[in-house]
Amino acid sequence: MSQTVRQEPVKKKPNNKIGITRGEKVYYFIVNVILGIFFLIILVPLINIVVSSFSSPDAVGKGKVLLWPVEPNVRGYTAVFTYKGIWRAYANTIFYTVFGTILNLAMTFMAAYPLARRNLPLKKPVIMLFMFTMLFSGGMIPGYILLKNLGMLNTIWALLIPGLISVYNLIVCRTFMQNIPTDIEEAAKIDGCSDIRYFFSMVLPLSTTVMAVLSLYYAVGHWNDYFNPWLYLTKAELQPLQIILRTILIQNSFDPESVTSEEDILGNQALQDLLKYSLIIVSSAPILVAYPFVKRFFMKGVMLGALKG
Amino acid sequence: MTGALANNKKHGKTYLRRIVENRQMYLFLILPLIWLIIFKYGPMYGAQIAFKNYRPADGIWGSQFVGLEQFRKFFDSVYFSRTVGNTVVLSLYSIVVGFPIPIIFALLLNSVRSKKWKSAIENVTYMPHFISVVVMVGILMRVFDFYTGILHNLVVLMGGKWSLHVFTGDSNFRHLYIWSGVWQGTGWSSIIYMAALSAVDPQLHEAAIVDGASRWKRIFYIDLPTIIPTITITLILRCGSIMNIGFDKAFLMQNDTNMNASEVISTYVYKVGLKADSGMQFSYSTAINMFNSIINLTMISLVNSISNRINGSGMW
């Protein structure tokens, strides 16, 4: 079929083996130029940040770095490594991400399983109860007062508990579970399998895809979370990376007590600039390193979400 | 277990009986429901302080009732038109710019023939989506840095003089906010359109080629019509959140020189509520927040009923 179709333009231009007309050539040229420009606009700043982080403070400070490291060295990274506050914050973020994601997954699956079951009495009102919180919320201050009254301010729980279930993720999870063939469920029931056992021995093993998708969503959410720690944590020893990042990257302020390096970070503007480049890399490294391997799961998540309007 | 045959015999069973049979299912729901009531509906109960004069010593219930006074205070203040205006302007700007670009991007990307080139573009353009807001603003400040940013370096290299203070001023804030959003989000937002485009039957294209349709014509008459339903739904949803500008990015990009443009409702709610030097006015802040939430709820309900009418499928 496609063979006969392809021949049509070939008749007009016998020399053209691929079978595209001149108009199409112009089209592809324009499209590739537009996409190429867009591609570069995204890539060039990223490359510049990477190569700057490997350049010398002097080259960065004098504005010499473009797309290739100038006087390559790792002084930016040693400056980051010796900055005490960053590593404590890094460890905190890893803790919040790992522990938080595990709690998120457990709660989301616990809620999604019964809500995916057909004909479960009272299912509708429970779903409505969850969905309504997507449309309306108490707000910033009532949430703050609640955590204060519960004694959760300035504890790790302030970052772990309030966001336990994202209703959007819950819907994704439920939609996925609803697509598990019901024959399996009926067969299991006839064999005397209880609902709890069915969950652990059938639903969970069949839901690894959605589990991967959701754990990535939750993990990136924890890693990048800025709002909650900003509102709920004032103790320096609990603060995650994003808070320190803001202090250094955006407010341009350095904590004298955190500087343990022999180099004079506080008095050296060029080294401060260099440190910022290295810090951007260090803080985003885990996500960017994992990205090529997990991209398809993220994209699958978009599709699963799209199924439900 | 009697539950085994539940599905076959359910007509003969009472509601109560079915609940008892599914008791294990409700066991799963206990913890999530407790969490939901405390952490989602708890704050909604607390939101009543919008109608009161909250003092911690009196508690939420015991504080003095003042009716709509907090709301009136907001409507009368100069910050009402400023914050609402900024929120709407930023939102509209981002719809006008940020909405069509991913669609155009998807249409163009979909027609790229080289698989390698296509996946290279995908990989690079999706990546910024995962950068945190803080790092994103940090990157902006590096790229546009007056002395060491890459744009400065490029301009100087070509013999020019870099003279843009990008982070200063009101209109700069808006452009930077929106276009950095385009930089970060275009690739990711296009995924949904790419998925819709992959559903286009290749035979349609082949038939169109036979009929002599150019590549442009095929985009307009085959690709675009296919993704129109997706576009409608996305646009409708986007319009539903027209009074909803998130806190993080606006807050992080704020400085003294751009306050007239960067003070949106969510940052103002934070400022009057929790920032120590502007007063910890819990009730006032909650009232502003509630005003915003109610508008958002109204908008999304409105938009949903429109969607129901047009598409026959809303969100609920």
The helix or strand, by DSSP H or E, that contains position B52, with its residue range, turns out to be strand B52-53
pLDDT, tens only, A185-218: 888 888 889 999 999 999 999 999 999 999 999 9
What is the pLDDT, as a whole number, of residue B243?
87
3-state secondary structure (DSSP) of residue B53: strand
Query: What average pLDDT does the structure give for chain B?
Result: 90
pLDDT band at A2 (very low <50, low <70, confident <90, very high): very low
| DSSP state letters, B154-192 | HHHHTT------TTSSHHHHHHHHHHHHHHHHHHHHHHH
Q: Which of A8, A142, A306 sits opposite B192 (nearest CB)?
A: A306
Domains detected in chain B: 2-65 (no CATH), 80-311 (1.10.3720.10)
Cβ contact, residue pair A65, B214, below 8 Å: no
Tell whether B21 lies on the interface with A, counting CB pairs under 8 A. Answer: no
Best residue in B11, B26, B39 to probe A by mutation, most A CBs within 10 Å?
A: B39
Q: Which two tokens stand for residue B79?
A: 């910050």
How far B275 CA sits from the closest chain A CA (Å)? 10
Tell how strand B52-53 and strand B64-65 pair up: antiparallel
| Rounded mean pLDDT, B103-128 | 94
Provide the residue type at A290 as one letter.
A
Cβ contact, residue pair A299, B191, below 8 Å: yes
Q: How many CB pairs under 8 A join A and B?
A: 287
How far B68 CA sits from the closest chain A CA (Å)? 17
What is the pLDDT, as a whole number, of residue B309?
83
Contacting A residues, span 231-250, partner chain B, CB-CB under 8 Å: 231, 242, 245-246, 249-250
Domains detected in chain A: 2-76 (no CATH), 84-258 (1.10.3720.10)
Chain position carrying tokens 């599905």 = B7
Using CA atoms, how far residue B76 sits from B72, B131, B252, B279, B293, in Å, is: 6, 39, 27, 18, 19
pLDDT, tens only, B174-193: 999 999 999 999 999 999 99
3-state secondary structure (DSSP) of residue A14: coil
Distance, CA of B186 to CA of B56 (rounded, Å): 45
Distance, CA of B296 to CA of B293 (rounded, Å): 5
pTM: 0.89
ipTM, two decimals, is 0.89
Q: Which of A139, A146, A226 sits opposite B290 (nearest CB)?
A: A139
What is the pLDDT, as a whole number, of residue B199?
86
Provide the residue type at A214 as one letter.
L
* Contact assessment for residue A105 and residue B26, using Cβ atoms and an 8 Å cutoff: no
Provide the residue type at A97 as one letter.
T
pLDDT, tens only, B80-100: 999 999 999 999 999 999 999
| Better-scored residue on pLDDT, A305 or A241 | A241
Distance, CA of A300 to CA of A211 (rounded, Å): 11
Nearest to A309 by CA among A139, A157, A131: A131
How far B89 CA sits from the closest chain A CA (Å)? 22
| Rounded mean pLDDT, A272-281 | 93
Tell whether A130 lies on the interface with B, counting CB pairs under 8 A. Answer: yes
pLDDT above 50: residue A4: no
What percent of chain A lies above the pLDDT cut of 90? 63
What is the pLDDT, as a whole number, of residue B6?
47
Distance of CA B127 to the CA centre of its chain: 18
Nearest to B246 by CA among B266, B271, B260, B273: B266
Best residue in A141, A280, A293 to probe B by mutation, most B CBs within 10 Å?
A: A141
pLDDT above 80: residue A295: yes
| Rounded mean pLDDT, A282-299 | 87
Neighbour count for residue A268 (Cβ, 10 Å): 15
pLDDT, tens only, A89-137: 999 999 999 999 999 999 999 999 999 998 899 999 999 999 999 989 9
* Contact assessment for residue B248 and residue A227, using Cβ atoms and an 8 Å cutoff: yes
